[in-house]
A and B are shown apart, each in its own frame.
Chain A
């Protein structure tokens, strides 16, 4: 039973206020959002920070949902993903991890690198470009999620891929939101 204590200590050390591991659906998204909102309300977080955290959470969670729908369970086995929020003195850290097909790695990397190469104005222009000319994908994604996360976060999006097997990679994404609003 030591894993319980270990997990507890990891969560404290990483300042994690919420961890969800499992299936992702819109219902789960709503529950996770409600929990995080209540948590932020409980210690009187500033409205502006709360809105940004909420915003990044929504895009992050719905991104996982959309990928989960397209996930080929028959070929890849059970799909589960992880979502976490860490609360530090100066920032919130929103992280997610989910399996993606290996052939998607290059495209995701390219999009994130492009987003990370842009400043505030550049992101605004890219957002307007994509919303104007982009079509909704079959999964209902507008291709705006990462861009919006980067804009609301105000920091670079950090990401990583770990190989799971010959078909899948584990995609980790991390967005931070400063608590010290000027």
Chain B
């Protein structure tokens, strides 16, 4: 299997921290996501997942630990989840702050919008 490059983006005040590391088995998006152009921001992430899908790890645990995301990002988050739908052995861990019902509900809605990828919910 060819090695894949690691995506490691530092979070900013309007974009999330993202780590996609096949070798270490880390797949994580955290922080705030309210970029002006969400499609442009997430394009490299979706492309990475397309390549990963061709030769995925036996298990892919994708962690979302978002504090806030705008509606433009929500469409792209669904695109990421749809990709995971096609990756066998993938599952999602959706983190939400214990008093953030909206974030918990957002995760539940996403879990209803995807086909197969299982969701686990964790409060912090």
User: What residues of chain A have their CB less than 8 Å away from a CB belonging to chain B?
Assistant: 26, 29-30, 34, 47-48, 51-52, 54-55, 58-59, 62, 65, 124, 127-128, 131-132, 134, 136, 140-142, 144-145, 147-148, 152
Contact = CB atoms under 8 A, between A and B. Distances in A.
B74 A131 contact: yes
A66 B14 CA distance: 16
Contacts, number: 65
Contacts of B36: 26, 29, 62, 65, 140
Nearest to B71: A144
B104 to A, nearest CB: 12
Q: What range describes how many residues of B lie at the interface? A: 20 to 34
Majority DSSP secondary structure for residues of A touching B: helix
9 contacts: A26-B35, A51-B68, A62-B34, A62-B36, A62-B72, A140-B39, A141-B72, A142-B38, A144-B75
Contact of A136 (B39, B97, B109): B39
Contacts of A55: 68, 102
